[in-house]
Structure 1
């Protein structure tokens, strides 16, 4: 299965960098630090936080197959699709197909839940002061835990 997710929107990275800069009382913070903090939040939560496009090649099969990235906001194409209450996108294809869709918890930085924003700002501050090898603090994971989604095994129906 081949899959891809578009880069974080520049506006979201800039907003995250601003939030981190406020935490560390600096005029500016490297966008790479802010992007790393957002990516860490997405990895921990197991979901795309800021809406963006995704593409996935789905192999032929008779049953429903789950899309990798979520929560899914919309799926393009003419094949049968479904989005369940948990935001998992499902497709049913008869031949190998490239599926294009959009995934993300929030439309943009301003629409993210406050706990996620605060955790990104805190972890970005840790990265800015302690370096890229800094561990993820327990206080940050506590802020992100309500949005955490863990997948075990493959989804197939």
Structure 2
């Protein structure tokens, strides 16, 4: 299955309908604004929980090391391509026997280049996300995104009144992956 690129978070009409229902709106004039607010709310959710909601294609560029390197986005569904990055930025596919890949039980993706490579940088393309579409996103995450988009919609013309509702983070917190810096 092919996923959209990382910068293209899909927003189906059903999700816009959920926000309209939450806000008790009976018009569709603001649907595009609501879709943008849903994208923003989803990005904030992803940053908060440390995971992608909807699976999307991601490409990490990294220096070559012979030890395992962790991919940035999680949970990794599949690692699809490893390429050498030339000095001019040109990409060349690496043979399978030049690198090793792993996805652990937590959905963390790992890559390492095997010794005897003359490559300085690599580009790793992979698919990362909790679900294939919004219908399969865990309910508490989806509800938090809808509530936050509704909050952003109702506060779009006002000064920030102390930040988003605490109910949003309460819905997201059980899914949060903590990172050690």
TM-score for the superposition, normalised by structure 1: 0.86
Please identify runs of 4+ aligned residues in structure 1 that moved more than 6 A. none
Give unmatched runs, 5+ long, in structure 1.
Answer: none
> What is the root-mean-square deviation in Å for CA atoms of aligned residues?
1.8
Work out the CA distance in 2 between the residues paired with 1:83 and 1:60: 19
Q: Which residue of 2 aligns with 1:20?
A: 19
Pair 1:102-2:130 in alignment: no
Unaligned stretches of 5+ in structure 2? 82-95
Distance 1:126 1:64 in 2: 42
1:151 equivalent in alignment to 2:179: yes
2:60 corresponds to:
56
Aligned residues: 148
Structure 1 residue 60 displacement after superposition: 0.8
After TM superposition, the structure 1 = structure 2 runs for residues 6-155 of structure 1, keeping only pairs within 5 Å, are: 6-11=7-12, 14-26=13-25, 27-28=27-28, 29=31, 30=33, 31-77=35-81, 78=96, 79-93=99-113, 94=117, 95=119, 96-131=121-156, 133=160, 135-153=163-181
Structure with greater Cα Rg: 2
- Structure 1 residue 39, shift from structure 2 partner: 1.1
